[in-house]
Amino acid sequence: MKVLAALSGGVDSAVAAARAVDAGHDVTAVHLALSRNPQSHRTGARGCCTIEDSNDAFRAADMLGAPFYVWDLSSEFQEKVIEDFISEYAAGRTPNPCLRCNESIKFEAVLDRAMALGFDAVCTGHYAQIFSGPNGPELHRAIDPLKDQSYVLGVLTEEQIAHSMFPLGDSTKVEVRAEADRRGILVAAKPDSHDICFIPDGDTAGWLSRQIESVPGEVIDVETGNKVGTHAGAHAFTVGQRRGLALGNPTGDGERRYVVDVDVKNNLVMVGPPVLLDIDVIEAIKPRWAGPLPSNGQSIHVQIRAHGDALPATVHFGEDLITIQLEEHLRGLAAGQAAVMYDGTRVIGSATVSRSRRSATV
Amino acid sequence: MAYLDNAATTPMYPEAVAAMTNLLAQPGNPSSLHASGRRARRLVEESREKVAKALGSRSAEVVFTAGGTEANNIAVKGIAWDQRKKEPQRTRIIAGSTEHHAILDPVEWLVESEGFSVTWVKSDTYGLITPDALREAIGPDSSDVAVITIMLANNEVGTVNDIIALTAVAREHGIRFHTDAVQAPAWLELNFSDLGVCAMTVSAHKVGGPHGIGALVISRDCHVTPLIHGGGQERDVRSGTLDTPAIVSFATALEISKARRTETVARVRIMRDDLVRRVQEIAPEAIYNGSIESRLVNNAHFTFPGCLGDSLLMLLDAQGVECSVGSACNAGVPQPSHVLLAMGADRDAARSTLRFTLGHSTTQADVDALIVALPSAIERAKRAGMPTLTSAPVRV
């Protein structure tokens, strides 16, 4: 196959591309330039997409004997990932930009362009597995639970999965690092990247405050309706958050208050006791399916964070939304988060959380 | 492999390779006073004379540099600083809007960091800088102008400016004039003393010589403030131990290039015209950019509407055809061509370009290979389409 390998400049994508070469594929390497103003050097484990990363990717491609190009996707990334991230936060939701990037950049803009240019598949260093099933290709969890990235790939459609290659899904990170070392890939010891790549200092709240106008407002206790404090800008708060609330007067029961809702329209941060965070019904929109749709009422597992647990649940189809009924309560789920549904290790699909509640309140 | 990127760099003449390799193991710093030093000095001075002869200058006017970019920096910064030192009101630089980044960037640095201002001279739709456009840029009062810099031949679209007509305008105002002639010597007869410039940049690797060596030809009465201090080896304009093997190789290449120019030009013109005709047959919608009459004989530059230049480049590269999108790269990403934008093209057109540049080693088989590879490349690049350029980030 003619394979386009996306090289980030890190260990995983380099080893993935090397395995694609070993498997006999005709591999061409690209580095995705996602930042309009790339910095020259990485600093520590944070961030990505510096010129140094691009050079590391170039050297990895050299070692594989693969032609190397840089594709400028900075405009698409700005529009579909960064601006989406800002507007979601501005609307009081908590998005996952890695899912958006996989959905609209790596496996849409890049994959579409690759297919048009004559490639058969895009290869990345994600930890996930693709198996051929009775109904077509299936996306499964990686064998390394610590590295499994099937959650951030949960947005891929069957068609996208059919043209993707994840050669690392059957290995652990330790094995991949050792293999990089054995292959003489110079970035073998490079630290893993963490956090949000376009916020290199890791200070998401600080970064958002420079993008979204902060208007001070009131913090309201949902149980009493009383004002219990002020905030510098509602967008800086996420459901389930406790730190940064600075509530001067503890409530009568002495229990700690958590953010239970963010009302952007009225610029209010709603707080309450932790019990209010306990939910067992997830309502979600914009589903994307990795294969055949589940049946109504099917038992599944749902994961709501990149490295969260898979929770037993049933899925129900409504008119405009999907309802996921959890078997046990879950604490703290914000709108905007992705709910990725699994059947065993197989990804069924994903949807964006629009609301969560306790079934008792229906 | 079909190499059609000679404007980026040209294969060395075998004679230039031999001249260089023969000297690499020999000791001799041209500044040393013993026999080895004198031998190296003699080789350098003989080479200087050859370069001067090939470029129509006096040998004392040839200052060897580590390439075209350094020569351009010495000229633009050095003349601007010197002029301002002598007449403090001279703080304006006039530069062509189609210049190479080796001019644009030093000019912009002088504006950002040194308190100079700049007036960009407009290009016409063919990439030509006319005397009228230069007059307009100079304006009614030229007393503040430190230096004018306008390229001789454009590296992207190959348009050749009439430097004699342009320097005539500068002379009316008594302004120093530098030209970046890096793309020219392989294809045009250059006579430094006739051009009317006070400084001219040339580079060895565009004429079949080695990388890392070039020259600023600079008249005796044109003073520059040096950029690099430490020995003053080259007329105090440029310091650093002279690279004798590279200088000898440069002179050899320039001499050969000049001696064979008539034959090379005639041969390359036929192949270039054939390339243009056949590309237009394959892609009638392709726009042939630049001037027809006033153009380097080795340059063919097209806009392929609806095709991203770097898609085409990648597809041709996969088929062994090497060319360029023409414009500068930023961290490996081709940028929309500022030359095409200056010529009035829109941003999509400025990202849809390919430049084919022939050289002394180009054969008809190279052109044929391009013509075989191009149709499927265009078809696929069109299918891949043009990613949209979004506006600057919006504050929510």
Kindly tell me if the per-residue pLDDT of A150 is higher than 90: yes
Tell me the CATH number for domain A2-189.
3.40.50.620
Q: Please report whether residue B391 resides in a domain.
A: no
State whether residue B119 is helix, strand or coil. Answer: strand
Same domain (yes/no): B239, B269: no
CA triple B277-B205-B180, angle to 5 deg? 80
- Tell whether B378 is within 8 A of chain A (Cβ): no
Return the CATH fold of A277-361. Elongation Factor Tu (Ef-tu); domain 3 (2.40.30)
Tokens representing B379?
């078809």
Stretch A155-177: mean pLDDT, rounded?
96
Residue environment code for A122-158, b if the CB has 16+ CB neighbours within 10 A, otherwise e: bbbbbbbbbeeeeeebbbbbbbbeebbbbbbbbbbbb
B248 in the same domain as B277: no
In angstroms, the separation between the Cα of residue A357 and the nearest Cα of chain B is: 29
Active site residue A197: yes
Does one domain contain both B371 and B352? yes
DSSP string, A236-301: G--TT--TT---SS--TT-PPPEEEEEETTTTEEEEE-GGGGEEEEEEEEEEEESSSPPPTTEEEE
On whether both B39 and B69 belong to a single domain, the answer is yes
User: Could you tell me the CA-to-CA distances from B169 to A239, B5, B248 in Å, in that order?
Assistant: 70, 34, 36
Domain residue ranges of chain A, discontinuous segments joined by +: 2-189, 213-272, 277-361
Among chain B residues, CA nearest to A54: B331
Residue B337 lies inside a defined structural domain of this protein: yes
Question: Of the ranges A208-222, B183-197, B204-218, which one carries the lowest mean pLDDT score?
Answer: A208-222
Q: What's the total number of domains in chain B?
A: 2
**Which pLDDT value is given to residue B394?**
33
One domain for residues B39 and B65: yes
Q: Do B227 and B335 lie in a common domain?
A: no
Residue A29 has pLDDT above 80, yes or no: yes
Instruction: Report CB contact under 8 Å: A212, B396.
Output: yes
What is the rounded CA–CA span in Å between residue B238 and residue B279?
A: 45
Interface of A with B in 164-183 (CB under 8 A): none
Judge: A78–B393 Cβ closer than 8 Å, yes or no. Answer: yes
Please indicate whether, in this complex, the C-beta atoms of A54 and B331 are within 8 angstroms of each other. yes
Q: How far apart are CA B20 and CA B80, in angstroms?
A: 35
Q: B228 and B290 share a domain?
A: no
Tell me: pLDDT of B377 over 70: yes
A156 Cβ partners below 8 Å, 6+ apart?
A: A102, A103, A107, A139, A164, A288, A290, A347
Low-confidence winner among A296-305, B196-205, B327-336 (lowest mean pLDDT): B327-336
Question: Which of A75, A113, A212 is nearest residue B390 as measured by Cβ atoms?
Answer: A75
pLDDT of residue A360: 64
B94 inside domain: yes
Q: How far apart are CA A285 and CA A282, in angstroms?
A: 10
Question: Across all residues in chain B, what is the average pLDDT?
Answer: 95
**What is the distance between the alpha carbons of residues A103 and A10, in angstroms, rounded to a whole number?**
21
Is A212 at the interface with chain B, CB within 8 A?
yes
Q: Where are the beta strands (DSSP E) in chain B?
A: 2-3, 62-65, 92-96, 117-121, 145-149, 177-180, 199-203, 214-218, 287-288, 299-303, 321-322, 329-330, 333-334, 353-357
> Residues 28 to 57 of A: which have CB under 8 A from any B CB?
28, 31, 33, 38, 51, 54
Q: What is the pLDDT of residues A326-348, one digit of tens each?
A: 999 988 888 999 999 999 999 99
* CATH code for position B314: 3.90.1150.10
B327 touches chain A (CB under 8 A): no
Angle at which helices B261-282 and B364-384 cross, to 10°? 30
Domain of residue B79: give its range.
14-258
Q: Which residues of B are catalytic?
A: 329
Higher-scoring residue by pLDDT: A318, A117 = A117
Q: Hey, are the CB atoms on A117 and B384 less than 8 Å from each other?
A: yes
Residue B392 lies in a domain: no
Is B372 inside any structural domain? yes
Q: What is the pLDDT of residue B395?
A: 31
Residues of B in contact with A117 (CB under 8 A): 311, 314-315, 380-381, 383-384
Distance in Å, alpha carbon of A28 to nearest chain B alpha carbon: 9
Class of domain A213-272: mainly beta
pLDDT of amino acid A257? 85
Cα atoms found within 13 Å of the Cα of residue A227, Cβ hemisphere only: 7
d(CA A306, CA B26): 64
Has residue B184 got a pLDDT over 60?
yes
Average pLDDT over residues A111-118: 94
B331 CB neighbours in chain A (<8 A) are 33, 38, 51, 54, 70
Hey, how many other C-beta atoms are within 10 angstroms of the C-beta on A226? Answer: 12
**pLDDT at B393 > cutoff 70:** no
- Specify the higher pLDDT residue, A96 or B130: B130
Considering the candidates A48, A49, A101, A123, report the single residue annotated as catalytic: A101
Half-sphere exposure of A256 (CA within 13 A, CB side): 11
Which residues of chain B are within 8 Å of residue A4 when distances are taken between CB atoms? none
Q: Which residue among A54, A67, A112 sits closest to B317, beta carbon to beta carbon?
A: A67
Specify whether B242 is located in the same domain as B230.
yes
Query: For A174-188, how does the pLDDT look when each residue is reduced to its tens digit (9 = 90+)?
Result: 999 999 999 988 776
Which A residues 271-330 touch B at CB under 8 Å?
none
Furthest-apart CA atoms within chain A: distance in Å: 69
Q: Does B21 map to a domain? A: yes
Q: Using CA atoms, how far apart are residues B116 and B145, in angstroms rounded to an integer?
A: 10
What are the tens digits of pLDDT across the range A233-291?
A: 888 888 888 877 777 655 566 678 889 888 888 889 999 888 888 899 999 999 999 99
- The answer to whether residues B269 and B254 belong to one domain is no
The better pLDDT of the pair B194, A196 is held by B194
Q: What is the pLDDT of residues B110-129, one digit of tens each?
A: 999 999 999 999 999 999 99
Which among B315, B380, B396 has the least Cβ separation from residue A87? B396
Q: Is A78 in Cβ contact with B332 (below 8 Å)?
A: no
User: Measured between beta carbons, which residues in chain A are less than 8 angstroms from residue B334?
Assistant: 72
Domain final position from B226, B258, B290: B258
Query: Which of B330, B335, B352, B389 to mutate against chain A (most A CBs within 10 Å)?
Result: B330
Residue B395 lies in a domain: no
- Here the tokens at position B125 are 């739709």
B322 in the same domain as B220: no
CATH code for the domain of B194: 3.40.640.10
Q: Are B203 and B274 found together in one domain? A: no
Residue B252 has pLDDT above 70, yes or no: yes
B394 in any annotated domain? no
Q: Considering B235, B258, B281, which residue would you say is the last residue of a domain?
A: B258
Check whether residue B312 and residue B375 sit in a common domain: yes
Choose one of B233, B258, B283: the last residue of a domain. B258
Strand partners, B263: none
Task: Look up residue B203 and give its DSSP letter.
Answer: E
